[in-house]
Chains A and B, each alone.
Chain A
């Protein structure tokens, strides 16, 4: 089944403890992206990647890192999480081109205390 898989689905952590949220897609998509969703603010792009070793900042990149060493994986790294990063995170992928649709993962609900 074609899908985007995120792990974990739920995560509670403490301020300052490094964490990684994994994202993997099995559709050979070039383009991958991370979004966060917050009440009243909607979905905002954190980082995106156009292909292996090609990444760039989205609208709200502060406090996050990403890497794209393989085409299928695009992990989101929080080096020193803070409570304002408590949010619902989504990974998405698409073929790179103007005519293609996005596929989203099921989301990761992160709470930083």
Chain B
């Protein structure tokens, strides 16, 4: 069974710092890995999607990498800002049986606080 783990569970940093969030998964047979942001009591906003054939994806100050062989993904946030404070979730898309490619398995999330 696929398991996804995120470390650390919580992180507090001063504004301007570069930071790395970690995600590990047990099954290297994932199709892709998606990073989400969740604000308190709100829905999930997709940040980056990395296909299994890719090594990294970038969007603005965000960079996500994927290493299937080691079962790891990282989300790098450059020059952090207070507005980046949220919970960050990674999720691996795995084969769900039959003909479905659909199942997402989530990590527990990292709660990020960026203080001024």
Contact = CB atoms under 8 A, between A and B. Distances in A.
Contact of A102 (B46, B98, B109): B46
Interface stretch (A19-27, A64-72, A79-87, A93-101): A93-101
Interface residues of A, number: 28
Contacts, number: 71
Contacts of A40: 108
Contact of A101 (B43, B46, B89, B107): B46
Interface in A30-74: 31, 33, 35, 40, 42-45, 48, 50, 56, 58
A33 B103 CA distance: 9
A4 B98 CA distance: 25
Contacts of B36: 104
Interface of B: 31-32, 34, 36, 41-46, 49, 51-52, 89, 91, 93, 96-104, 106-109
